[in-house]
C-alpha cells in the first residue's frame, strides 16, 4: 500500500488507524476465481466482518460463509437491496452456516431461511432435526491439518469412517445431506493437506452413493495461504493440485464451493500507529505504540501470526522491541523488530493485516479499537 497515502490518512484521521483498500479485495477475488474457476467463493465473514467488505464482495459475485447468527444477519442486512421475492433464494444460494456447533436458538431462527448448515456429530444432527428441519446439511470431515498455521481438526470434523453412517442417519430422520465439507487448517502451506482431504471426501461420497445417497455439493473450506513472507508458495501452485484432483475424483456436474477469508482480505489492509513511548531495557531500545495485541494486533495472540513493523523514517536499522499501549505484559508486538531510531510521535505501520486483526479488537484498558478507513477507488 502506498506509504504517502498511509501517512496522509494518519494525519487526517489520527492513529491508530487501519486502511482497507477495496481494489485489492477485488483483485484477490478475481485471482481466486481465475485460478479455481470451478469453485464458488463463499467469503468467511469471520476474517473481517466490516459491512463495507461484505458489500464489495457481494457486488463482485461472492457468496458468504457465516459462523454465528449475528454474522448471518450482517450479511442478510447488507443484501436488502434485493427485491423481497428474491431474498429467500439468496439465502439458499449465497450463505452457508459453516459452524458445526450451533445453539438451538440459532437453529430456530435460521429454519425459516432453509439454510445450508454443517454438522459433524449425532448430537448436532438431533438438534437440527428438532429445531431446523428445513435446513440442508453439510457433513464436515476431519482431515489432516499438518503444517497449517491454525489447526482445526482437533475441534471439528467427524472421522471419515463414521461419515456415511451419519449421512444415512440424517436421511433416515427426514433430513437431506446436500454437501460434504472439510477444512485443512487456516494459512495452509502444506498443499498435501488439500490432496488428502479431497481423496477422503471422494471416498465418502462414493460409499454414500453405493448406499443410495447422492451428495450434490463439495465444500473444500478455507486455508488458502497469504504471502506473509517469501516462503509461502503462490495460490497458482495450490490451484493446479486442487484442479487436477477435482477433475480426477469427481463428476463434472458436482457443485464445488470454498470458504476463503484470509486470502481475500489479509493483503488489503495496513495498520498505522504512533510511537508514544521509548525506553532502553537490557541494552535494547523499546518502543511503545498506540495500538496493541488487544486491538489491531490481536492476530499475534489469536491467529499465531507475526506482523512486520516498518517505519516511514529512513535510516540505519537496529533490533528493537515493540510493545502495545495497554498496561499488560502480554501486550508485546515484537521482541526482535528491525527499525531505524525513532522518536516519540513518529509513525510505524504493518501491512497484510486485514484478516483476523481488527475483527478481534476489544476495549481492553479502555482503549478503543483503531479507526477503519475504507478506500474504494
Catalytic positions, please?
327
Q: Give the Cα separation of 242 and 218 in Å (integer).
A: 13
CA torsion sign, 125 to 128 to 129 to 130? Answer: positive
Strands 217-219 and 309-311: unpaired
CB 193 within 8 A of CB 146: yes
The whole-angstrom separation of Cα 321 and Cα 336 is: 6
**Chain centre to alpha carbon of residue 171:** 31
Q: Identify the sign of the CA torsion 116, 151, 359, 55.
A: negative
φ, ψ for residue 325, nearest 5 deg: -85, -15
Backbone angles phi, psi at 94, to 5 degrees: -115, -10
Query: What Cα–Cα distance (Å) separates residue 333 from each residue in 14, 318, 328?
Result: 20, 16, 12
Alpha helices in the chain (DSSP H): 3-13, 22-35, 51-60, 69-77, 84-94, 104-110, 122-131, 160-172, 192-210, 235-249, 262-265, 299-302
Spatial distance between the Cα atoms of 359 and 181, rounded to a whole number of angstroms: 25
C-alpha cell at position 75? 450479511
In terms of DSSP bridges, do strands 148-150 and 186-188 run parallel, antiparallel, or are they unpaired?
antiparallel
The C-alpha atoms of residue 367 and residue 370 are separated, in whole angstroms, by 9
**Gap between the Cα atoms of 281 and 321, Å rounded:** 9
Q: Give the three cell numbers for residue 286.
A: 523499546
Amino acid at each position: 500500500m502506498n506509504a504517502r497515502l498511509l501517512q496522509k490518512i494518519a494525519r487526517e484521521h489520527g492513529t491508530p488507524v487501519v486502511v482497507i483498500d477495496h481494489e485489492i479485495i477485488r483483485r484477490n477475488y478475481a485471482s481466486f476465481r481465475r485460478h479455481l474457476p470451478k469453485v464458488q467463493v463463499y467469503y468467511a465473514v469471520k476474517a473481517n466482518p466490516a459491512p463495507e467488505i461484505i458489500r464489495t464482495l457481494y457486488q463482485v459475485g461472492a457468496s458468504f460463509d457465516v459462523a454465528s447468527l449475528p454474522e448471518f444477519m450482517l450479511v442478510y442486512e447488507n443484501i436488502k437491496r434485493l427485491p423481497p421475492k428474491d431474498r429467500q433464494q439468496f439465502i439458499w444460494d449465497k450463505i452457508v452456516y459453516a459452524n458445526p456447533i450451533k445453539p438451538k436458538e440459532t437453529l430456530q431462527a435460521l429454519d425459516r431461511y432453509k439454510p445450508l448448515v454443517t454438522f459433524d456429530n449425532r448430537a448436532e444432527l438431533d438438534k437440527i432435526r428438532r429445531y431446523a428441519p428445513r435446513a440442508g446439511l453439510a457433513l464436515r470431515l476431519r482431515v489432516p491439518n499438518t503444517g497449517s498455521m491454525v489447526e482445526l481438526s482437533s475441534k471439528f470434523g467427524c472421522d471419515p469412517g463414521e461419515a456415511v453412517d451419519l449421512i444415512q442417519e440424517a436421511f433416515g430422520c427426514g433430513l437431506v445431506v446436500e454437501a460434504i465439507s472439510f477444512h485443512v487448517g487456516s494459512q495452509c502451506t502444506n498443499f498435501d493437506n488439500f490432496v488428502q482431504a479431497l481423496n477422503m471426501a471422494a471416498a465418502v461420497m462414493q460409499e454414500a452413493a453405493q448406499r443410495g445417497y447422492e451428495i450434490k455439493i463439495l465444500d473444500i473450506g478455507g486455508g488458502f495461504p497469504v504471502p506473509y513472507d517469501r516462503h509461502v508458495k503462490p495460490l497458482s501452485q495450490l490451484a493446479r493440485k486442487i484442479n487436477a484432483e477435482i477433475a480426477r475424483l469427481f463428476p463434472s456436474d458436482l457443485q464445488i464451493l470454498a470458504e476463503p477469508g484470509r486470502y481475500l482480505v489479509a493483503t488489503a489492509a495496513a495498520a498505522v500507529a504512533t510511537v508514544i513511548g521509548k525506553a532502553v531495557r537490557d541494552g535494547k531500545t523499546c518502543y511503545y505504540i498506540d495500538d496493541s495485541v488487544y486491538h489491531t494486533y490481536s492476530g499475534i495472540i489469536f491467529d499465531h501470526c507475526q506482523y512486520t513493523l516498518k517505519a516511514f523514517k529512513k535510516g540505519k536499522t537496529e533490533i528493537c522491541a515493540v510493545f502495545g499501549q495497554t498496561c499488560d505484559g502480554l501486550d508485546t508486538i515484537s521482541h526482535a523488530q528491525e527499525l531505524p531510531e525513532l522518536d516519540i510521535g513518529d509513525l510505524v505501520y504493518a501491512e497484510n493485516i486485514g484478516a483476523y486483526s481488527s475483527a478481534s479488537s476489544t476495549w481492553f484498558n479502555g482503549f478503543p479499537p483503531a479507526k477503519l478507513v475504507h478506500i474504494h477507488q
